Amino acid sequence: MTNNTFLNLPDEKKEKIIAVSTNEFAAKGYRGASINSIVKKLKIAKGSIFSYFGDKEGLFLHIFKFAVEKVKDYLRDVRENTKDQNIFERLKKILQAGVDFTDRHPNIYRVYIRMLLNSDIPLREDMQKSIREYAHEFLCELLYDAKEKNEIRKDLDIKIAAFTIEAVMDRFLQTRILPFLDPGADIYGADRKKCEELIDQIISILKKGI
């Protein structure tokens, strides 16, 4: 649990601790990340980190929760700002928000990738489950709304559709930064303009399917 001592720090100091720690985990992974390196860059006592977060695991879990809340903020904005649009425009905006998030917060996204690829991260399965459950519930909500508006097929299994859409979106964002995931679809390293074209193609395929 994050200590109240950290929560009561000035926002600027909290943001700096989170940023430096996120960069360390993103660059070196959980096992390679060093508290000594973090406190050296922050110019604070090592004991402060332990006072705030308990240990390295506590620090990582705080970074994870911070990242999840950032993502949720993006998704909430999309949901609220697209209420009057059809489901396919909403899905397009979600993917665009995903690209925007990974561009604006590359180290946060790299921490997520580290969590997917590295088995040495504490509570890894629990963290992945919480992400998947939130994404699934979020998409189900949009799809049930779309079914009520007759924007998608009445016989569509909403839960399977949400699973499929989330899998496609997640793989798209991962492939943009991980070259070994790209089978030749020209997604890896795609700039914003190329992403727009690829997103349009993905939404077109989803539209025909659901």
The mean predicted confidence, pLDDT, of the chain is 94
Answer positive or negative: Cα dihedral of 68, 70, 72, 75: negative
Domain locations along the chain: 63-209
Q: What is the pLDDT of residue 3?
A: 73
Residue type, 25: F
Q: Please, is 45 exposed, middle or buried when counting C-beta atoms within 10 Å of its C-beta (0-12, 13-18, 19+)? A: exposed
- Using CA atoms, how far apart are residues 50 and 79, in angstroms rounded to an integer? 38
pLDDT digit string, tens, across residues 100-110: 999 999 999 99
In the chain, count H helices and then E strands.
Answer: 10, 0
* Rounded Cα–Cα distance for residues 65 and 2 (Å): 11
| pLDDT category of residue 2 using cuts at 50, 70 and 90 | low
The DSSP secondary-structure symbol of 151 reads S
Of the candidates 48, 52, 57, which has an alpha carbon nearest to the alpha carbon of residue 30? 57
DSSP conformation class of 179: G
pLDDT of residue 41: 95
pTM attached to this predicted model: 0.90
Structure tokens at 145: 């709304």
* Mean pLDDT within 57-70: 92
- Mean pLDDT for 78-88 is 95
pLDDT in tens, 147-206: 999 999 999 999 999 999 999 999 999 999 999 999 999 999 999 999 999 999 999 999
Given the candidates 1.10.10.10, 2.40.110.10, 3.90.45.10, 1.10.357.10, the CATH classification of the domain at 63-209 is 1.10.357.10
Closest CA to 166 of 64, 85, 95, 88: 95
Residue 123 exposure: Cα atoms within 13 Å on the Cβ side: 13
